[in-house]
Amino acid sequence: SCVSRPDIMFVRRLSCQVATVSLLVHTHALRMPFARGSTVRMAASNAATLPKQETGISALLDAQPEADGRGTLVAVLDTGCDLAAAGLQETSDGRPKYVDFIDCTGGGDIDTSKKVKPAEDGTLEGLSGRTLKLGGWAEGVDEFRLGALRLYGLGSMPTSVLRRLKEERKAAFVMQHQAAVSAVQRELDGLADGAPKEAKRDLELRLEQYDAMMDGYTDHGPLLDVLLWRQQPSGVWQAVIDVDGEGDLSAAEPMAPYAHARQVGDMGHGSALTYCVQVYDEGERLSVVTDAGSHGTHVAGIVAANFALDSALNGVAPGAQVLACKIGDGRLGSAETGTGLVRALIAAKARGCDLINLSYGEPAWQHDSGRVAETFTAAVRKWGMCVFTSAGNDGPALSSLGSPGALSAPICVGAYVSPAMMAEQYSMLPVADVSGASYSFSSRGPTPDGFMPSLCAPGGAIAPVPRHALQGKAQYHGTSMSSPNACGVAACVLSALKQAGLSVGPIELRRALEKSARPIESEPFAQGAGLINAPAALAYALEHHGKPAQDLPFALSVPSRGGARGIYLRDAAELQGPLTFGVLVQPLFEHAATRTAAEVEELLSLELQLQLGPTAPWVTTPASMVLLSAKERGGQTFTVRLDPSTLPPGAHFAAVQAVDATDPARGPLFSLPITVVIPHAISPPPPLGALTPAQLETAGDETAAPPALSFPLTLQGGVPVRRFISVPESAEWAKVTLRSGRMANGPHAVLLHAVPSARGDLPNTACQTKRMLQLRELSEEVVQLPVRGGATLELCMQLSWLANPAPATLDAEVEFHSYGARGRAMHAPTTRIGSADAFARIEVGAPLRTERLAPEAELTAAERALRPSSSTITAGSAELDVLPPSDAELRAAADAPGEQIHSMLLQYSFDVAPEGDAKEQPVLARVQSLHEQLYDAPLDSMLWRLDDANGQTLQYGGAMHDAAETKLKKGSYSISVLLRHPDRAQLTALKELPLLLRMPLPMPLDCVVHGGRGAASKGGHGGHEAVAEGWVRRGGHKDLYVCKPTTELPKWVSAGDVLTGHVALDKGSKEATKLPLAFEAPPAPVKKAEAADDDGDEEDEEVVGAALDEEAMACAKEARLVQEDVDELERSVFRARLQRLRAPRQGA
């Protein structure tokens, strides 16, 4: 996934009840709608470019042309959309395609709290310092609100547009610069020999100035003034943005916010970047809404593009309308934030959306938990919206699902590619035998707790992209494309149901889609129930609508496995002993705080006669159960017994299905997924005690080591081949060797994906290894990868069908290694040298085979913890940050209140003092305790902002990914951290939350590794040398002593800072053998007073000199204090002027 970034393989506001807003945009207002049919017509259109045949949507629309999504509203939670993109202007029945466009991240917010009155001559001074000439639209307005927008500001425009604009502006500057230089040079060359020296020197100085201008070229971008006011007596907010940056607004034309009049502005300057506006908090904030990249427009086009002149170019549901919700924050490189996600779900409910598509994803530590995850559950079960989300692009190995694909409430969609798509979208070379399959990148189940994807849909499309991309369409592939395809199918099915007069909720719709899906592969790990099937889903929904519990969700869990949502046995140790599990079933009724009579009756009337049955003979279940509401007991249980003793090595899937005994045709009402992995056997090493004397002589040789596991592989294009290997208890890493044979059709691209464990204690991305290998004939590739002792390692290999889909044969060999230093943990504990210690001790051995020992240790960065200097908790926006009441609450009381989300702002301060010749110090900030958590985070959101002493914002960072290091000059800086949660007490508990600063060292500091304590204690003095390269024989042992650095620490390192780096036990295989290293910085050395001189006369002279020095020092101190007062006054004046010029963009 485009981390996070959108799940796209090949790369990388809430609509509130406020007064209507109009925007006046000088010279760049775009009149909507645009002319139809603006797309360049192709000679022929192929349906596989935006697949519809594969899902049966073409057949459905042939039978019911008006079931094309009309009457449905889809919220697209993404990077935002280009409101002017071709194909996204109108629905098939003439309604506006977009109902609104909302920036849910806050990245486009402008502070418009400053109020001014216009001068009598119809002008006023903007925050840029320009005199703004107003137009006739300002007549009768006695008060304006001022704001400013830096066009190049963080988050103001997509990175690709910003880069292009800077290149174009610099090219224009260079052209003008060269012309000016040439003119002066011609004048200089034309001087006569007797010309005055002053004239020649003047021209030479001008050339020098031109050179200096070129050397110092910097483009901060235009600063655009913003005016906002409320029109009377209508109460309509109106605004104007000086996009030309010239101050003349007399010709500006009114433009309302998109929901009011669907008007769109263009940021100008050749950007082709469109935008709309929103106004919040009674005019205190103006939100300028732009997209953060092309991803969102492409997704919206897959769902609902409508080309009136060529229906073959249409999206899946051309009749559907779209609510565009920007959750990709431009300040974070378009990564999603919890703030954006939660606000978008609130907005979708406020707008009455039927469906939601989210084509984003991140790794997760704890699946199906966290504040954002809870909000998605509420969106489906409490607010009645059906959510589709991408499975992620981290396949093809098992247990690679991230979030939100791993959440229970959304429909998780994997990516499928058909032979027609291969040919049309990728121009694949002809091949005799190729079948449709899941894309290799599509993430697979099960999650560590056994959960599986829901279904799959076509995962590639040629669809519209923003105009600022300077192309009308693009081909993207990823699960980002499969999710909107499935969402579009659901819109068409829902459209047909609405036209039939049926009201179908998200649970019933999901049941129809899953029960009618068509399996297309032998394994379900990527496809779930199968390929979505529009006609079959509609037929199922029509046939079974209104039947008992058809719209009732059920929660299944296995209490003995920590409440897991399925059964997933992977390690050999789990397959031993009793394999009997209790399963808890809970019907999930939604109700008001005080149940109504109808809700009570719903509980009392539930009585389902269920037939229980497994889908595989190695699973045994009871024959039946009578399911009641079971509120008194918290659910009902049944027992499952597994007998995997006859299963061959590999991954095996089964399900326990509960079918209505009175109506088996509607399929299972719930299913329990079961996955069992049978590892391939590997011989353990012989114990040393069992060896003969002759064998003991060579116990360190490979003859006594465990044999390498070898196996042949036959790879077919697009089909993953899996090998599961039980890893020796003491193993720490493995060496995988792949050898190719003859290749009649040329080289092959093979994806190797290794997942060492799926125990759920860390995301798969934190321990997996992925390599795309280019294998040539009779070649060899070696990959080293981490493993977990006692766990089951999956080696998954898949042949790419794109370049050479012909079958290939390989020989694989796996050899395990260990120093016995890490234990069974995937992440080794840190080797720590205390501030008062001289060294740290590491015990190494060779439990599996003789290992090479060539240690190397170095420190590369300093880490510093900061405490906040202040904390402020406030209620969030009443328009954006109130979670709506559930549908059940609203049925009971129409005025039921929502739940307020609160924000806490923490302030941190620090200084930077680069050392030596360095003018800048790179700094990386991180909220360590909340890092790498988003959907499973305990808070709604976390966002930080780095400012310099003048208040200029230098960098933003989020919860999930590290921001780029920021190079800071000497000075003082501050970091503001914004946390959000509905419970103020939860925020109060985090008032002292530490912040981590990570600062790379100018040069790595070497830490010598000794082989004895004595040498380490003396720091190597006395002739002791560092450990030399050598070997540790199998069964042998050696102690290593990693010493503190002998070189002086940088002066900016303070006591309490922690220097971090690594110890590599074999510097030739650093990645496989390194352990984390830390050194706690001690206090700085105490400066010693110089020894006294015995000469009395000299001593008297020194006393007199010292007195004079003290008097001089006092005078210098007084002069310095005066100068500091002057400097402070100048800084105050400068900050006051700067405050008028800059546009504070504090609203995270």
Which residue bears the tokens 């235009």?
222
Distance CA 547, CA 529 (A): 22
Q: Are the C-beta atoms of 853 and 1032 separated by less than 8 Å?
A: yes
| 592: three-class secondary structure by DSSP | coil
Would residue 482 show up in a list of annotated catalytic residues for this protein?
no
Tokens representing 388 are 């589709």
Strand blocks (E) in 152-302 = 223-231, 236-241, 253-255, 264-266, 274-280, 285-289
Would residue 981 show up in a list of annotated catalytic residues for this protein?
no
Out of 128, 438, 480, 629, which one is annotated catalytic? 480
Distance CA 288, CA 161 (A): 16
Q: Are the C-beta atoms of 827 and 742 separated by less than 8 Å?
A: no
* β partners of residue 473: 464
Q: Is 35 left (phi over 0), alpha (psi -120 to 50) or beta?
A: beta
State yes or no: cis peptide before 1144, omega within 30 of 0. Answer: no
| 831 CB burial (10 A radius; 0-12, 13-18, 19+) | buried
φ, ψ dihedrals at 467, nearest 5°: -65, -30
In a 13 Å sphere around the CA of 495, the CA atoms on its Cβ side amount to 31
Q: Are the C-beta atoms of 1006 and 1048 separated by less than 8 Å?
A: no
In a 13 Å sphere around the CA of 419, the CA atoms on its Cβ side amount to 8
Which run of H or of E encompasses 132? strand 131-133
Strand blocks (E) in 185-243 = 223-231, 236-241
274-280/264-266 β-pairing: antiparallel
Strand blocks (E) in 437-484 = 437-438, 455-458, 460-464, 473-477
Q: At what angle do helices 534-544 and 479-499 cross, to 10 degrees?
A: 40
| 213: three-class secondary structure by DSSP | helix
Distance CA 782, CA 814 (A): 10
Out of 295, 652, 981, 1062, which one is annotated catalytic? 295
Q: At what angle do helices 506-515 and 534-544 cross, to 10 degrees?
A: 120
**Number of H-type helices and E-type strands within the chain:** 18, 61
Tokens representing 1061 are 């780096």
Distance CA 941, CA 104 (A): 12
Distance CA 20, CA 283 (A): 11
Closest-CA residue to 1030 (of 806, 855, 793): 855
Out of 26, 28, 68, 78, which one is annotated catalytic? 78
Would residue 78 show up in a list of annotated catalytic residues for this protein?
yes
Q: Are the C-beta atoms of 116 and 136 separated by less than 8 Å?
A: no
Amino acid at site 96: P
Residues 6+ apart with CB under 8 A from 609: 624, 626, 660, 661, 662
321-326/109-111 β-pairing: unpaired
Closest-CA residue to 556 (of 543, 567, 545): 567
Distance CA 822, CA 733 (A): 10
Closest-CA residue to 332 (of 830, 1065, 959): 959
Residues 6+ apart with CB under 8 A from 280: 13, 16, 18, 109, 287, 877, 879, 880
- Residues with a known catalytic role: 78, 295, 480
